[in-house]
Structure formats: C-alpha cells, structure tokens
Structure 1
Amino acid sequence: MRLVVVGNGMAGSRLVAEVRERDPDVRITVFGAEACAPYNRVLLSNVLAGTSRPEQVRLLDPSWYRAHRVEAVLGSPVVSIDRDAGHVVTGDGRREPYDVLVLATGSEPVVPPVPGVERAIPFRTLDDCERILRAAEGARRAVVVGGGLLGVEAARGLAGRGLPVTLLHLAGHLMERQLDVEAGLVLGETLAGLGVEIRTGVSAEAVLEDGVRLTGGEPAEADLVVLACGVRPLTGLAAEAGLEVRRGVVVDDELRTDDPSIFAIGECAEHDGTVYGLVAPAWEQAAVAADVITGGKALYRGSRLVTRLKARSVELAAMGETQLTEEDAEVVRFSHRARGTYRKLVIRDGRLVGAILLGESDAVGTLTQLFDRGGPVPGDRAGLLFPGLSAAPVAGSPVLMPDAATVCRCNDVTKGQIRACWEAGARDVAGVAAATRATTGCGTCRDAVEGIVGWLCEQEGITV
C-alpha cells in the first residue's frame, strides 16, 4: 500500500509515526511545506520566552525517517490532487501516486486586512518565531494584536525577555472563548503585573512604522508588531479536488472524507460540525486514522477540550462550558484578584461540564479526570476547588493517584503506564517521554511526571 501524507506538522508527523508502529511494510511518503523537521508548535511560546531552544521542540529527528523507511519531502508543498489518477502534484512538478491519502494541512494565521499589515509578524511557525526574536533584539517596545491563547503566550514571552508589551484585543476581556468575564479580568491583571499593558475593546486600523493606529486614531506605540489574530483551516487543496468542505474538510467517524481513499486529520478537519484547534484532538485523530488505514477498527467520537496555559508566573486550565451561569447550571466559584487566583466549577445533572482554574492550583488533575470521564461530582464542592482542605484523597498526589488516572492528556498516558516504563528501566523524565510520549505535547504534565518518577525512585531508594 502506498500512503501519502500531505502536511508534516503535529498531526501529519504523528500519523506517520502511528502508522509505522502498526505496520512496518506500508510505503509512506510525507510532504511538508516547511523545510525543517516537524516541531511542537505548542511550545513555540517557550522559544519566544527563551526557556526552550528551537531544537528542543523538535518532534521527529531527520534520522527517524531514514531509520523507519519513511520518505520525507520537506519544503515541497502539494499544490493539487488528481483523484482520478490517484496522485498528488507538488509545486516543483513531482507527481506522487497514492492508494491512501491523508490531508494534515493544518491552519494558516488570520491576517487582518488593514494598511501596513505587512510590517507585522504573524506568530504561527518556527520561522515566524525566529523573525520575532531577531526583531525583538533591537526593539524598545512591542505590540501584540489578539488576546486569545496564542496572543497571551506571545505577550508573556516577549515581556519575559524584558521588552515592554501592549496586548490589544477586540473583545471585552482576554480569551473570551475559554474564560468568563471575571477570569479574563484576573488574567489581565496578572499579565499587567508581569509587564504587559492590556487594552481590550480595541481594534487595529493600521500598522505604522512606529506602532499601531487604533480605530478612532489612538496610537499604540511599538517598533515590533506581532499578530495573533486566530487561525483558519487550510482547505483550498481539498476544495479544489472536489472534496466536501465547510469550515474544515468534512470527515466521518473514521476520519474519511467523502472520497473513501482520502482522510483528513488535525486543524484542517471538521468532524461532526467541529474543527479542533488543539493538539490532543489532532493526536487522537491520528491514532484512529492509523488504525483504520492499517486494517484495524476504530472510530473517532470527538474530543473533550481542555485548554492549558503555563507560562512563567501564569498558570491556567479551562475546560468545557465555562460560560454557563447560575440560571443554567450549578456554579461554584472563588476569586482572589489580588493573588491572581480564580476558580470556577460548572456542574449540571451532578456532573462537571466546565471549569476554570487560574493561578497555581493542585486541583487541576482531579478536575480534568472528572471532566474527561463524566463521572458524578462529589458532594464536597469546596474540597474539589481546594483539595488540601478536604479529607478525601487527592488524585494529584503520586501516592494516592490511581494507576488509571490520566497524567498526560495530549498523549493519553496514565500513571500506570509511567509506572510500567519506570519498572522497565526508565529512571528519568526523558526515559519516560521516549517510552510513552508523555510531556511531548503541551508540556504542562512535566511536573506531574517528574513527581511520579521521583516518588517511584524514592520508594526503591534509588538516587538519580
């Protein structure tokens, strides 16, 4: 079987690895528009902040492709699909036949159509990140346009380098898709304390040499302007090939398009009316598609979304239906704005359907498990928000955490799997990551993995 994968980002590279794990004989060719090896886009904010180097966010080393007999054609975008002939065509004229084709084309940044926008730098790719870092070296002040997750990460990263930053956002509060009004305000106040000026309810009218002109003429001075205005699925290739496209490339529960020999996964795919923009759903889809492609039986039923932000001095987890009010559900909340702390539970029919945790919290693990599993919520609501006040076992403790508890959501790795690979000889986080992929997604589980590994070593009297 000849498998061709279009897109070598987080979804495409995972699909290739998953297929090769299942079948050593499939002939695999993957095309990547970027000339570099695949990298973890989620961790680009760490590169921007200087806490990671570009080579540290790489997903697959070039030698991996050679060792696993995968042809990786990098820097060569596919420009068309000939479904009748069963091949794809690249920009330099190469025609590659396929029996099965997987589209993992991802998304592109939204660039607002305002005068001078070419002076700004989108924050999307590793090349973008490196351009921003070069520009930041000689900059006196930066403006980030867009206060969603990516914009908040970009602003925090630049501020962490000592650069004064103004964060502009059209909505009335930051990350309005994930946070309610009060959480958005608390997040804004936390960022302000870290050197980020927050301006909400504003939009950019033009990008100038000395900053941004807001609608109404008010200036926001800067010599570096970064765009984080959202993304849109890259669907042009599929649409030109005659595949069904709405917001994304429409797929069924096997991740097939309306052409049974063509699959779509990741940010370009639309399943059951939803386009997912996070890494965990993309990797879940890659696993299902790999099963189906290699002759197995698997169905994708959608993903339960947990948004995580863990920049220096900023910790946030938001999941599910965070915008519901007391009219629609039971809402339990705690706010201490002076400390940058906000916690909210949304409970309906005795089950957790949403939560926000802003500020350092040991409740994240327990609440994420409750949300994922849809199990009944314990009667002690305060104990859920503040596990230390409750006599009930805390799932976040390595000692009390059950082996079935999910530690790494991006890769669906449980405590039991970490224990098993530790017993097989993995004595540090790097060894666990190599065996299970834990910590290689958004990275927010690293502390938990370190805690489990440290606890296991302590039990056996092993010094690492």
Structure 2
Amino acid sequence: MASGTVVIGSGTAGARLARQLVAVGAPVTVIGEEPHAPYNRLLLAEVLAGRYAPEVIALPAVPVRRGVRAAAIDRERRLVLCEDGTPVPYDRLVLATGSNPVLPALRGIAQGLPDGVHPFRTLDDCAALSAAVRPGIRAVVVGGGLLGVSAARALAERGAKVVLAQQGEHLMERQLDVSASQLVRAHLEAMGVEVHTECRVRGLRGTDVELADGYVLDAELVVLACGVRPRTKLAQDAGLDVGKGILVDDELRTSDPYIHAVGDCAEHEGRVYGLAGPALEQADVLACLLTGKPARYTGTRALTRLTLSGPGALDLAAFGDPTPRPGDDVVQLADATRGAYRKVVVRGDRLVGGVLLGDLAAVGALARAWEGDEALPETVPLLHLLTNDGGL
C-alpha cells in the first residue's frame, strides 16, 4: 500500500523538503545513499581546510534511511525498489538525486581512479583527501571553477604545495569576468598556489599529471574538480523524460504526474542550476504543493557567494551575467591595493549582472534589486549602485 511521499536523495533539496513535510505532520520517507546524516555540501572545503569538523556541517535532523541505494522505480505499482531488496511504496515520489562529479576523458583513468586521485563531491571524498594531505605534499587540482578554487585553497591551507590547472582562459568562468578572476588568482597565488590557465590535461600516470603539451606535473595527490553532471539514470531507466536533467514543469512534476524532481538533477525551462539557492527554492515550492498550498516554480535568479580564506581573506559575490552587451551601461570600481572590485551591468533600467569582491556591504541591496527584477530608480546615479547601501 502506498504511504505518503518518498524522497530519493538526502542532500540540500531532499533534506529541506523532508523537514517541511515533517513539520506539518505529512508522512515522508527519505532514502539516502550516503551513510552520513544530511550535510551542507557547500562547506566541504571548510572541512578539508580543517576549520570545521564534519559534524559541524550537518543539516537539521531529518529521518533518513541511510546507506540505501534506490535501484529502480516501478511506476505501475508505485514502488521504489532498493538494492537491499526492500520495496518502498509511494503516493508521490520526489527525485532529489543530485549530481555526480564529471570525470574527464583522461588517459589513465579508464579502469578507475588510481590511488591518490580523488573527486571532491561528498563527505567521504573529503575524508579521503583529509587523510592523504600533509604539509609539503605535491597536489594538483584539475579544474578552475568554483569547486576547484575551493579545493585548491583548502589544500594550501593544510600546507600542500598546490598546482591548479584550468583549461579555460580564467578562473571561475561561469561566475566572474576577467578582472575579478585576476583578483581570485592573486589571492590563491598569495597562498602559494601555482595557477595555470589555458592548460589542458591529457592524462594521468598514476598521480603524475600529463599536460597536452607533453609536460608532466609531478604530484602525490590529484583532485578532479571538473564540474558535475545531473544524476538522471534512475529517471531515465524508469522511462521519464530526460534532457540535461530530469524535465520538470512549473509544479516540478516530471512526465509522470506522481513523480517530481528538485535540485541539481532537475531541468526546468531548459536550465539545470546546480546551485544551492535554486535547490532550496524548488524544495520550498514543492513542499507547498504537496501540502495543498498553491505555488509555482518560475525559475531562480541565483546569487553565488564564496569566502576564500587564508592570507587577506576574500569575500566574493556574483549574480547574473557580468559580460555586457552593446548598449549596456557598466559601472566598475577597482582598488588593487585592497584587493577590492565591484562591477554591475545595467540594461535599460534593470540590473542584469554583477561581481563584487572584497567588501560586500553593497551586495544585499544589489541582489534584492536583481532578484526582484526591479526597475532602478531614475534619480539614483549609476555610480551610487556601488556604494554600501547599493544606492537603493
């Protein structure tokens, strides 16, 4: 017999949804593949750096069947079939399966990752890296996005000699423009990280990293931080519509009316966000819908925030698209001495993107104006957008 809502996945979105259902007495079962209680994945780098113990990043308690892997979905009988042989019936099923780290097509990993080569996505990955790192160890981080930058900074704080290899032209290309990226690079280099951009990795020889030009980076520890990919296999095997992620509508419903998807695995209006903000918003909307309250998900205008600790800690916030189009207004302030940088892009009477590094006092007002898609006051000079109150 079916019994309430079943959530597959105990990450950010799954745990948030389950807590809200439990709070109103709605029956919910959470199936969590990891053996740990739900935790904040955004803080894994803080654990790796040694600033937080693993238990500090635990999310508020929610009942989870831990260490259980969902193997298949029987849509006709409305059952989740687990690898341990247990069938779990559902009235509504929510896929919050998250994403997997992308393992690039490198020579030397076709038969699996060699000893000393690690992804950086889960608490177990973090524990393995923490056990391996020691002062003076030669480490290479492959990938210069948000995850790679965080991993490189954490390893450097633990005393490793870190090389960061980024294939793109600058660090954190999805969030930052060139000027902001240069400040992040300078911050990492001040911590002793050797940064190489436009640097393509061809393969691994054990833990040694071979570059496309034939040069080999000697390493004892390698971190693969090459992005993530939505986990869609369970949905695909069940016959649900899948694109880049599991396709959902404004009620976060899949092609099966009894199955929903939220978080990193979900694709809404052609977009997979892969960020905590949208995952939480989707969980909130679905919690309303599952408890009979009217709600619709129409997309998220996501803000990325990051603190790079170490010498002269650097706070960073980015939103929208910081690359202007012809006709856009750009307001930019830079203070190289203090390592501060602020830039916003205005199209017509709307903010369309921005990057702030250093003092983030203005970010609250700017983010509210952008997230609300509000018209900027005509009486406020554009330069005032970068003052501490955002000029708003």
CA displacement at 1:208 relative to structure 2:
2.5
CA displacement at 1:375 relative to structure 2:
2.2
From 112, 118, 121, the equivalent of 2:104 is 112
Moved more, 305-314 or 227-236: 305-314
Give the equivalent residue in structure 2 for 1:131: 128
SS of the residue corresponding to residue 319 of structure 2 reads strand
Give the equivalent residue in structure 2 for 1:408: none
For residues 180-329 of structure 1, what are the structure 2 equivalents within 5 Å?
Answer: 180-312=177-309, 313-325=313-325, 327-329=326-328
CA displacement at 1:113 relative to structure 2:
2.1
Give the equivalent residue in structure 2 for 1:32: 32
Give the letter for the 1:341 counterpart: A
1-side partners of 2:138 and 2:340: how far apart? 28
Give the equivalent residue in structure 1 for 2:361: 362
Distance 1:209 1:239, change over 3 A: closer
CA displacement at 1:52 relative to structure 2:
1.0
CA displacement at 1:209 relative to structure 2:
3.5
1-side partners of 2:79 and 2:231: how far apart? 19
From 9, 15, 18, the equivalent of 1:16 is 18
SS of the residue corresponding to residue 108 of structure 1 reads strand
Give the letter for the 2:125 counterpart: D
SS of the residue corresponding to residue 115 of structure 1 reads coil
2-side partners of 1:222 and 1:114: how far apart? 16
1-side partners of 2:159 and 2:304: how far apart? 27
Gaps of at least 5 residues in structure 2 are: none
1-side partners of 2:8 and 2:136: how far apart? 37
Matched, 1:374 2:358: no
CA displacement at 1:295 relative to structure 2:
1.6
CA distances 1:61-103 after superposition (whole Å, capped 9, x unpaired)? 4xx53xxxxxx21111101000011101011111111111000
Highest RCO, 1 vs 2 (Cα 8 Å, sep ≥ 6)? 2
Moved more, 376-385 or 51-60: 376-385
SS of the residue corresponding to residue 339 of structure 1 reads coil
Give the letter for the 2:387 counterpart: F
Give the letter for the 1:178 counterpart: Q
2-side partners of 1:89 and 1:221: how far apart? 45
2-side partners of 1:386 and 1:142: how far apart? 40
2-side partners of 1:264 and 1:210: how far apart? 37
CA displacement at 1:377 relative to structure 2:
2.8
Give the equivalent residue in structure 2 for 1:430: none
From 89, 100, 104, the equivalent of 2:92 is 100
Give the letter for the 1:101 counterpart: L
Give the letter for the 1:15 counterpart: L
Count of aligned residue pairs for this structure pair:
380
Give the equivalent residue in structure 1 for 2:167: 170
8 Å CA contact 2:140–2:162 kept in 1: the answer is yes
1-side partners of 2:352 and 2:259: how far apart? 34
8 Å CA contact 1:187–1:340 kept in 2: the answer is no
Distance 1:301 1:210, change over 3 A: closer
Q: Structure 2 length as normaliser, TM-score?
A: 0.93
2-side partners of 1:150 and 1:276: how far apart? 15
Question: Identity of paired residues, percent?
Answer: 47
2-side partners of 1:210 and 1:93: how far apart? 38
Give the equivalent residue in structure 1 for 2:387: 386
1-side partners of 2:204 and 2:252: how far apart? 41
CA displacement at 1:10 relative to structure 2:
1.0
CA distances 1:25-63 after superposition (whole Å, capped 9, x unpaired)? x332111110111100001111111111100000134xx
Counting helix residues as a fraction of each chain, which structure ranks higher? 1
SS of the residue corresponding to residue 330 of structure 2 reads strand
Instruction: Give the CA RMSD over aligned residues.
Output: 1.7
Matched, 1:3 2:2: no
Gaps of at least 5 residues in structure 1 are: 66-71, 388-393, 402-464
SS of the residue corresponding to residue 137 of structure 1 reads coil
